[in-house]
């Protein structure tokens, strides 16, 4: 049995094992490379370069995220944490203002208030958005 890598736009698009003739099984426009005996066996999405009559494969390394992407990811994560914090304190703001919370609920409400304030200030941390020190949920 042989293993073939289908190459598309310089990447391994598919791996296929067969005992049959790969050239007869698929459309002739497909580029299939026999990778059965390679020491550095390629995986899906690896880069593939034809060089000196053969193929060279290397692990795909995604480009680093832009600062805007990192900011968007951080703010999306912040929103997830904030939603959970809001769920944990739902209805407590009015009760706190009216003085209806007992001591334990008041402590919980205040702890979450500090937590939510810290979440809202993550963009003011040094190193943001590349390095974020996430506050710990109460």
Span 81-85, average pLDDT? 94
Q: What is the pTM of this model?
A: 0.56
pLDDT of 12-46, one tens digit each? Answer: 999 999 999 998 888 889 999 999 988 878 998 99
pLDDT of 90-124, one tens digit each? Answer: 999 999 999 999 999 999 999 999 999 999 999 99
Predicted local distance difference test score (pLDDT) of residue 122? 95
In DSSP notation, the chain reads -EEEEEEETTEEEEEEEESS-HHHHS-TTSEEEE-TT-SS---TT-EEEEETTEEEEE---PPPPPHHHHHHHHHHHHHHHHHHHHHHTTTHHHHHHHT---HHHHHHHHHHHHHHHHHHTGGGSTTTTTS--PPPP-
């Amino acid at each position: 049995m042989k293993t073939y890598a289908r190459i598309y736009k310089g990447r391994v698009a598919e791996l296929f094992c067969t005992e049959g003739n790969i050239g007869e099984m698929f459309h002739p426009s497909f580029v299939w490379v026999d990778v059965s005996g390679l020491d550095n066996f390629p995986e899906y999405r690896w880069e593939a370069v034809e060089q000196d009559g053969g193929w060279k494969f290397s692990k795909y390394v995604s480009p680093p995220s832009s600062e805007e992407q990192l900011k968007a990811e951080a703010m999306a994560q912040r929103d997830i944490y904030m939603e959970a914090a809001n769920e944990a304190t739902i209805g407590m703001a009015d009760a706190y203002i009216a003085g209806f919370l007992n001591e334990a609920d008041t402590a919980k409400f205040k702890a979450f208030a500090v937590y939510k304030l810290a979440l809202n200030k993550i963009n003011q941390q040094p190193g943001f958005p590349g390095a974020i020190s996430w506050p710990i949920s109460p």
